[in-house]
Amino acid sequence: MQTATFVGSRVDGTVSVVDPVARHLRRTIDLGDGARIQGVDAGFDAVYAVDQAGSRIASVTGSGVASVATVGANPYEAAIGDDRLFVPGRDDGTVTVLDPDPSSQQRHEIGGRPWAVVMLNGDPWVLNRECAVLRALDGGTLVDVPAPAFAGAANPESDTLVVTHYDDDRVSLVAPTESETVWTVETPAEPFDPLLVH
């Protein structure tokens, strides 16, 4: 695949393919009426666009849509890892797991509002905005946390996750394999995406 920049449009329901060398728009890929492209992610030598309004994920290339798969209601973004895609359905309490070719999928009933999936050493952990637990998607292990989790970042060097509690104005360091919260800190209102810097 040639070097390209893929940009989603929430308003037009399209993915634009930009040539960063020639500095021009190569093409615009239309995902259909009513599409709302929430996120664009890359992995497995493919680009995936999350259609929030259509509850779909599309594999796109520089020349168009390669495949489309239905996912849970109100998806926000895809997490990529362990040779799979993970797409939380925030409004129906599911996480859809897809192979790199989205035609193969498995849906997990989680309950609550699964907001994100964070990969830690190849294991997917589900963050839930309604339930104060982290859930290991593959094993079903539940780890209590101080408040519902909104976003997270993995620290594989210490097998921990930093998670934000958006609605509770806190940030926590969680050790899922130890089933414990290491620390929790109060923050200014509505902490968003955490970033770990080493």
pLDDT of 30 strictly over 90: yes
pLDDT of 2 strictly over 70: no
pLDDT of 1 strictly over 60: no
Average pLDDT of the chain is 92
Assign 197 a pLDDT band (cuts: 50, 70, 90): confident
CATH of 110-198, one of 1.10.3860, 3.90.1200, 3.30.70, 2.40.10: 2.40.10
Q: What are phi and psi of 168, to 5 degrees?
A: -120, 5
Over the chain, what HEC string results?
CCCCEEEEECCCCEEEEEECCCCEEEEEEECCCCCCEEEEEEECCEEEEEECCCCEEEEEECCEEEEEEECCCCECCCEEECCEEEEEECCCCEEEEECCCCCCEEEEECCCCEEEEEEECCEEEEEECCCCEEEECCCCCEEECCCCCCEEEEECCCCEEEEEEHHHCEEEEEEHHHCEEEEEEECCCCCCCCCCCC
Q: What is the pLDDT of residues 131-161, one digit of tens each?
A: 999 999 988 799 999 999 999 999 988 999 9
Please answer whether residues 43 and 2 qualify as being in contact, where contact means their C-beta atoms are separated by less than 8 angstroms.
Answer: no
Q: What is the pLDDT of residues 64-112, one digit of tens each?
A: 999 999 999 999 889 998 789 999 999 999 999 998 877 778 999 999 9
Assign 45 a pLDDT band (cuts: 50, 70, 90): confident
Q: What is the pLDDT of residues 32-44, one digit of tens each?
A: 889 999 989 988 8
| Domain spans, the chain | 110-198
- From the list 27, 40, 32, 26, the residue with the least C-alpha distance to 12 is 32
- From the list 116, 124, 120, the residue with the least C-alpha distance to 165 is 116
* pTM summary value: 0.87
